[in-house]
Structure 1
Amino acid sequence: MTRQLLPPTETVPSSEDLIARAEALREQLWADAPEADRTRRLTDAAVDAVTAAGLNRLMTPRRFGGYETDVRTVLDVSIQIGKGCGNSAWVNAVHNSGNFVVGMFPDQAREDVWGDNPDARTSMVLVAPSATVEPADGGLVVTGKWGFASGSLHAEWILVLAGQPDSQLLLIPLSDLTIDDTWHVAGMRGTGSNTVVADRVFVPQHRAVPYRPILDGQLPVVREDEPLYRTTLSGVLQVFLLGGMIGEASAALDFVLDKAPNRAIASSTYASQSDSVPFQVLVAEAAALIDTARLHATRAADTIDARRPLDVPTRARMRMDAAWTVQKCREAVDLLMTAHGTSAFAEFNPLQRIWRDLGVGSRHGGFGGQIPQEVYGKALLGLDPRQASYLL
């Protein structure tokens, strides 16, 4: 049976409180980030800290103990988490995105996920499906593999695509799947974005919904008291992923500025980087790029929060906003590596980890390949952006 709506004044913290909770985790996440990079998974301590702060509940319906907050709050929380650990921010963004999608499912599926655990985490893979489905009594049986499953090492549930040409989103407990260790990459190593495998797994019908309506923000089940879940998935997912990269770029700037007064510049007369005009120019440009990134991300978040449903040209612009955000973050960190000096590339230096993370994260399929630019260009010219990509 569906739970009664919980009183927001008693159970739902303010946006300011949630952002402050995330900011309070920065020191611990910063300390754990090297281990996450080395072991290719988040530390249990980091996952537990984020969970204890309630930051997995941001997109969970209030009737199931969640906060059902707005998109801008999730972005700002993710930025603060990213200042401590970009990988933790990425995983948290995926989990909140997954929970957002589960919010669109029938009540029986939502009860499966959160009935006994309001902190339950849902990972999600939206890559092209390589799965087969067979009808079965009361549902279907699925066999397949899905790569790039960020957050799957720390989730209880996962959403995967299956079926062609009309794909379905399937909600499956991780306990029914196996995980192949395939995530051996240069950056974003701690996200544990391995491959999940299903071998004739039964999925009941209430945990299988058409993908296209979810992508377009057209709920299979409309709940008038939950307007959050009537917006485009692609916009939400992309905005959430931006936060960690803005946070990491901001952390890199803070690190470089903090070290500058006590660092000399090799082969120069400057005893302090702070006194160097070229250094001043580099950090100023980096700071402006990060500000630009945050402004574009904020516009996208505010657009989602203000307008439901969103028209295609606006959705195309939001995808461009996302691509522009990550590009500016990457450019900012490149400048900061130069400003700090060659020791930035030393293994002991956190800057090189951030540099690698931004290099990988900014080339995610939602941002890379100049597809967002093509999508937006088509929209500006009055053409159909979906000729270039379905992800709008």
Structure 2
Amino acid sequence: MSKEVLAGVRDLLPTFRDRADEAERLRQVPESSVKALEETGFFRMLQPKRFDGLESDPIDFFTAVKEIASADGSTGWISSVLGVHPWQVALFPDEAQQAVWGQDTATRLSSSYAPTGKAVLTEGGYTLSGKWSFSSGSAHASWVLLGGLVFNEEGNVVDFKTFLVPGDKYEIVDVWNVVGLRGTGSNDIVVKDVFIPEAFTLSMSDTGRCFGPGQEQNNSELYRMPFHSLFTTTISTPIVGMATGAYNEHVEMQQKRVRAAYLGEKASSDPFAAVRIAKAGSEIDAAWALLMNNIREEQAHVAKGEKIPLGLRLRVRRDQVLGTQRAIDAIDALFEASGGRALAEGTYLQRAWRDAHAGRVHAANDPERALKMFGDLEFGHKIDPGMY
């Protein structure tokens, strides 16, 4: 089925590109685009089969995301984050899974994982309150996954959890006025004293060790992959897709461009132009190859029933943050060499340049922390648990 989904996604790429200006104007990806993606089966790729999902290979999922982002960065971004959430819901207790998909297997979820909310232990669950920012695609979702610190009666932090909250229990606040990824609608989520049952929570300490209660029902290898490997790759992949789209447009533009300052020379005849695209193409290919190769290595350990080595998980993070940087470096080089026409509204290049730099500031793309953890392990130092 994944091949059919990929084929359907590729058929939609010209439409997504044509709607990119509309997405920026609306500050939301058009509902028609989300509906079209839904019809391809894209949002079901990482969803359990028992809820009409496909349980696709994550590589196929990331490939589809990269293709979508190569047509429009905002559409690729929300496709990636909305598309990965079914994987995490599959780790929740069965009661929560049934609540999300029992009546409608097309239910979508947005998220905001930074623990900016506060959860207080109550009988049978938690009372959750707070404000969360950057919930991409929230207008296209009817549930949200929120990060929160759990406090006991003494006011001490006892856990860090993800809370599953239905749409009638939270408010979306429209604050998304930005220069990049304008179409993602990454608005704020506000929750006020909402009771969340224990079954609608998932401890990050469990996901950190590749465990979730939902594995009892969803026992395929897909749901034994590391949370942070999949979710950080979810953030880098659209940026690699943007670089791919920028590369394609740059090459097309240079084949048509005549450089007046150089006596009418065709830009494509400039040997330096050829060198630039060779370097940019290599950076994009290297970013993608490392991202996917590392996921494949983790899958091989899972298939053998082996614990994934910490060194490999930290390598995933190393190559993920550097993959983002490689893609942005390629976009920068291509944009700078494209001439004044690349500045025009409506061109993919200027939008990719803005969108990629906007995506770069996501917490998952913070390079120093990820690189320090990898280096510390190589030197034999103790690793402080974090986003690995």
Q: TM-score, normalised by structure 2?
A: 0.92
Matching residue's letter, 1:85:
D
Inter-partner Cα distance in structure 1 for 2:324 and 2:260? 31
- Give how far 1:57 is off: 0.5
Question: What is the CA deviation profile of residues 302-359 of structure 1, one whole-angstrom value per residue up to 9, with x for unaligned ones?
Answer: 1232223322211111001111111111011111112211332233322111001111
Partner of 1:186: 179
Inter-partner Cα distance in structure 2 for 1:235 and 1:81? 21
Which structure 2 residues correspond to residues 223-234 of structure 1 after superposition, within 5 A?
A: 223=216, 225-234=219-228
Matching residue's letter, 2:279:
E
Which structure 2 residues correspond to residues 55-204 of structure 1 after superposition, within 5 A?
A: 55-136=42-123, 138-162=124-148, 163=150, 164-204=157-197
> RMSD in angstroms over aligned alpha carbons?
1.7
Partner of 1:258: 252
More strand by share: 2
Matching residue's letter, 1:384:
K
Tell me: CA distance 1:348–1:227, structure 2 relative to 1, closer, same or farther (3 Å): closer
Question: What is the CA deviation profile of residues 132-151 of structure 1, one whole-angstrom value per residue up to 9, with x for unaligned ones?
Answer: 43514x43321111111122
CA contact (8 A) 2:136 2:184 kept: yes
CA contact (8 A) 2:117 2:128 kept: no
Partner of 2:153: none
Inter-partner Cα distance in structure 1 for 2:214 and 2:66? 32
| 1:287 is aligned to 2:281 | yes
Question: What is the CA deviation profile of residues 258-289 of structure 1, one whole-angstrom value per residue up to 9, with x for unaligned ones?
Answer: 12222112411243211111211111111111
| 1:245 is aligned to 2:243 | no
Q: Does 276-285 or 102-111 show the bigger shift?
A: 276-285
**Which residue of the other structure, out of 25, 37, 40, is the alignment partner of 2:27?**
40
Partner of 2:370: 372
Partner of 1:320: 318
| 1:31 is aligned to 2:27 | no
| 1:341 is aligned to 2:339 | yes
Question: What is the CA deviation profile of residues 227-246 of structure 1, one whole-angstrom value per residue up to 9, with x for unaligned ones?
Answer: 32122111011122222112
CA contact (8 A) 1:60 1:68 kept: yes
Q: TM-score, normalised by structure 1?
A: 0.91
Partner of 2:266: 272
Partner of 2:294: 300
SS of equivalent to 1:116? coil
CA contact (8 A) 1:134 1:142 kept: no
- Give how far 1:204 is off: 2.3
Tell me: CA distance 1:315–1:250, structure 2 relative to 1, closer, same or farther (3 Å): same
Inter-partner Cα distance in structure 1 for 2:46 and 2:175? 29
Inter-partner Cα distance in structure 1 for 2:5 and 2:383? 36
CA contact (8 A) 1:316 1:385 kept: no
Partner of 1:360: 358
In the alignment, structure 1 segments of 5+ residues that lack a partner are 1-12
Inter-partner Cα distance in structure 1 for 2:382 and 2:314? 10
- Give how far 1:369 is off: 4.6
CA contact (8 A) 1:239 1:300 kept: no
Inter-partner Cα distance in structure 2 for 1:229 and 1:296? 22
Partner of 2:154: none
Partner of 1:8: none
CA contact (8 A) 1:59 1:66 kept: yes
Inter-partner Cα distance in structure 2 for 1:258 and 1:92? 26
Inter-partner Cα distance in structure 2 for 1:175 and 1:322? 36
| 1:391 is aligned to 2:387 | yes
